[in-house]
Structure 1
Amino acid sequence: MGKIIIYQIFTRLFGNRTTACIESGTLEENGCGKFDDFTPTVLKRIKDMGVTHLWYTGVIRHATATDYSKYGIPCQNPSVVKGKAGSPYAITDYYDVDPDLASDVERRMEEFEALVERTHKAGMKVIMDFVPNHVARQYKSVCRPDGVRDLGEDDNKGMHFSTVNNFYYCPDCALDLSDVVSSADAGDNTYMECPAKATGNDCFGNRPGRNDWYETVKLNYGVDYCDAGGRSFHFDPIPDTWNKMTDILLFWAAKGVDGFRCDMAEMVPAAFWTWATDKVKYRYPDKIFIGEVYDPNRYRDYIGAGFDYLYDKVGMYDCVRDVICGRRRASDITYMWQATDDIRSHMLYFLENHDEQRIASDFFAGDAEKGIPGLIVSALMQKNPFMVYAGQEFGERGMDKEGFSGVDGRTTIFDYWTVGTLYRGFVNRRKQTVAEKHLYDIYAKVLNVAANEKAVSEGEFFDLMYVNGHIADRQYAFIRKAGNELLLVVANFSDKPVVADVVIPRHAVDYLRIDENNHEAVDMLSGDKCVLKVKADAPVSVSLEPYGGKIYKINL
Structure 2
Amino acid sequence: MLEHAIWWHIYPLGATGAPIRTEHGAPESRLRKLDAWLDYAVELGCNGLLLGPVFASASHGYDTLDHYRIDSRLGTDSDFDHLVAQAGARGLHVVLDGVFNHVARGHHLVTERPELVKWDGDRPRGWEGHDALVELDHANPDVLDLVVDVMRHWLRRGIAGWRLDVAYAVPTSFWREAADRVRAEFPEALFLGEVIHGDYLGFVTDSTLTTVTQYELWKAIWSSLTDVNGWELAHAIERHTVFAERFIPNTFLGNHDVTRIATRVPKATTVVPYLLMTLPGAPSIYYGDEQGFTGTKTETWHGDDEVRPPLPATPSDLSPLGAHVLHHYRSAVALRRRHPWLATATAEVLHKSNEHLTFRVHDGGRALTVDLDLATPGVRITGEGEHLHIVAHA
TM-score in same-fold range (> 0.5):
yes
Question: In structure 2, do the counterparts of structure 1 residues 290 and 46 end up closer, same or farther at CA, with 3 Å as the change threshold?
Answer: same
Question: In structure 2, do the counterparts of structure 1 residues 544 and 123 end up closer, same or farther at CA, with 3 Å as the change threshold?
Answer: closer
Deviations 1:139-173 (A, max 9, x none): 03xxxxxxxxx566344xxxxxxxxx2012344xx
Which of the residues 249, 260, 281 maps onto 1:358? 260
Structure 2 match to 1:167: 117
Question: In structure 2, do the counterparts of structure 1 residues 263 and 99 end up closer, same or farther at CA, with 3 Å as the change threshold?
Answer: same
Structure 1 match to 2:199: 297
Structure 2 match to 1:90: 63
Matches within 5 A, 1:60-459: 60-63=55-58, 86-102=59-75, 108-140=76-108, 153-155=112-114, 165-171=115-121, 195-201=122-128, 212-222=129-139, 239-297=141-199, 299-313=201-215, 315-326=216-227, 329-344=229-244, 345-361=247-263, 364-365=264-265, 367=266, 369-382=267-280, 384-398=281-295, 404-406=301-303, 410-412=306-308, 419=310, 422-423=311-312, 427=314, 429=316, 432-433=319-320, 435-457=321-343
Structure 2 match to 1:185: none
Shift, 1:256, TM fit: 1.2
Moved more, 336-345 or 242-251: 336-345
Alignment identity in percent?
19
One-letter amino acid of the counterpart of residue 371, structure 1: T
Q: What's the secondary structure of 1:440's corresponding residue?
A: helix
Question: In structure 2, do the counterparts of structure 1 residues 137 and 291 end up closer, same or farther at CA, with 3 Å as the change threshold?
Answer: same
Shift, 1:295, TM fit: 2.9
TM, length-normalised to structure 1: 0.63
Structure 2 match to 1:187: none
Structure 2 match to 1:147: none
Deviations 1:477-519 (A, max 9, x none): 3334457654332233223679x8x9x9xxxxxxxxxxxxxx9
**Conserved? CA contact 2:57–2:63, under 8 Å:** yes
Counterpart CA distance in 1 for 2:217 and 2:38 is: 29
Structure 2 match to 1:12: 13
Q: Are positions 1:490 and 2:371 aligned together? A: yes
Shift, 1:341, TM fit: 3.5
One-letter amino acid of the counterpart of residue 112, structure 2: E
**Conserved? CA contact 1:15–1:32, under 8 Å:** no
Deviations 1:149-204 (A, max 9, x none): x566344xxxxxxxxx2012344xxxxxxxxxxxxxxxxxxxxxxx4211122xxx
Counterpart CA distance in 2 for 1:330 and 1:372 is: 18
**Conserved? CA contact 1:494–1:546, under 8 Å:** no
One-letter amino acid of the counterpart of residue 329, structure 1: N
Structure 1 match to 2:31: 35
**Conserved? CA contact 2:136–2:143, under 8 Å:** yes
Counterpart CA distance in 2 for 1:220 and 1:496 is: 48
One-letter amino acid of the counterpart of residue 127, structure 2: G
**Conserved? CA contact 1:371–1:547, under 8 Å:** no
Q: What's the secondary structure of 2:199's corresponding residue?
A: helix
**Conserved? CA contact 2:229–2:374, under 8 Å:** no
**Conserved? CA contact 2:237–2:349, under 8 Å:** no
Q: What's the secondary structure of 1:372's corresponding residue?
A: coil
Q: Are positions 1:463 and 2:348 aligned together? A: yes
Q: What's the secondary structure of 2:112's corresponding residue?
A: coil
**Conserved? CA contact 2:257–2:297, under 8 Å:** no
Which structure has greater helix proportion?
Answer: 2
Counterpart CA distance in 2 for 1:452 and 1:520 is: 10
User: Can you give the 5+ residue segments of structure 2 that lack an aligned partner in the other structure?
Assistant: none
One-letter amino acid of the counterpart of residue 339, structure 1: R
Could you say what the CA RMSD is over the residues aligned between the two structures, in angstroms? 3.2
Shift, 1:351, TM fit: 1.2
Shift, 1:390, TM fit: 0.4
Counterpart CA distance in 1 for 2:101 and 2:384 is: 54
Question: In structure 2, do the counterparts of structure 1 residues 395 and 546 end up closer, same or farther at CA, with 3 Å as the change threshold?
Answer: closer
Counterpart CA distance in 2 for 1:6 and 1:130 is: 17
Counterpart CA distance in 2 for 1:272 and 1:520 is: 44
TM, length-normalised to structure 2: 0.87
Q: What's the secondary structure of 1:346's corresponding residue?
A: coil
Larger radius of gyration: 1
One-letter amino acid of the counterpart of residue 175, structure 2: W
Moved more, 331-340 or 54-63: 331-340
Shift, 1:126, TM fit: 0.5
Deviations 1:229-265 (A, max 9, x none): xxxxxxxxx6221112211111111111111110111
**Conserved? CA contact 2:279–2:343, under 8 Å:** no
**Conserved? CA contact 2:175–2:207, under 8 Å:** yes
Question: In structure 2, do the counterparts of structure 1 residues 152 and 452 end up closer, same or farther at CA, with 3 Å as the change threshold?
Answer: farther
Question: In structure 2, do the counterparts of structure 1 residues 151 and 440 end up closer, same or farther at CA, with 3 Å as the change threshold?
Answer: same
User: Can you give the 5+ residue segments of structure 1 that lack an aligned partner in the other structure?
Assistant: 64-85, 103-107, 141-149, 156-164, 172-194, 202-211, 223-237, 413-417, 505-518, 526-542, 549-556
Counterpart CA distance in 2 for 1:520 and 1:343 is: 25
Deviations 1:507-556 (A, max 9, x none): xxxxxxxxxxxx99443x5xxxxxxxxxxxxxxxxx652469xxxxxxxx
Q: What's the secondary structure of 1:490's corresponding residue?
A: strand
Shift, 1:374, TM fit: 2.9
**Conserved? CA contact 1:4–1:451, under 8 Å:** no
Question: In structure 2, do the counterparts of structure 1 residues 273 and 286 end up closer, same or farther at CA, with 3 Å as the change threshold?
Answer: same
One-letter amino acid of the counterpart of residue 332, structure 1: E
Counterpart CA distance in 2 for 1:340 and 1:486 is: 17
Question: In structure 2, do the counterparts of structure 1 residues 170 and 97 end up closer, same or farther at CA, with 3 Å as the change threshold?
Answer: same
Shift, 1:381, TM fit: 1.5
**Conserved? CA contact 1:373–1:492, under 8 Å:** no
One-letter amino acid of the counterpart of residue 63, structure 2: A
**Conserved? CA contact 2:271–2:392, under 8 Å:** no
**Conserved? CA contact 1:493–1:547, under 8 Å:** no
